[in-house]
Amino acid sequence: MDQFLNRFKCLDCDIDVEDEEYISRLEEMYFKEIISPKKKHGEMVSFIENQLGASRNKIADLGEMTAESVDLLFDLEKSEDAESKADRVVWVLPENESNKVFYDDFNECYYRMNAEPKIVIVYLEAKDSFVSNSSLLEFALLIYRGMNQEEIDKKTPEYKNYLNTIYMLGEMLENIDE
């Protein structure tokens, strides 16, 4: 994962986020890094489990603090009731050397007791998106999933968000290294 993330570090980037050419500048910088076509749900699940090493869990099997963070993520999908949330799959990211960058950032943001909360990933079906209680991981997942060529060609809001996310990920990685 480190190789993937390091592609997006923004060394000496001189971009004014308030410049009207902001998105055009991002396109120039990151055009070669855009992943296309957009990966399907199953491809993302395979990446989460095989590359990141995340394990599937039920909310009831999580520690209290981790379960609370999962509830907040599911609240992003307003249609969920408590019973259906309990049955949903949650991936827990292992705390190991290959995921160190995510936990280093996570530990800066959250006070943890007894290794709680853990970093989790959930799939929001209504939004067809993977979200996490780790911003860094969520950005990496969004970028890894990619964009369809049609969205790129039409410069859709999703495409502009994708470019902005690449830039924000680079900025976050720079701040972690400092």
- Between the CA of residue 69 and those of 75, 83, 116, 121, what are the distances in Å? 10, 17, 10, 10
**0.75 cut: is pTM over it?**
yes
Residue 13 included in any domain: no
Name the E strands within the chain.
55-57, 90-92, 120-124, 129-132
Answer yes or no: is 167 within a domain: yes
Q: Are 105 and 136 found together in one domain?
A: yes
**What single DSSP character describes residue 174?**
H
Domain range spanning residue 175?
Answer: 18-38+148-178
69 has pLDDT over 90 = no
Per residue in 106-130, pLDDT tens? Answer: 888 776 677 778 999 999 888 899 9
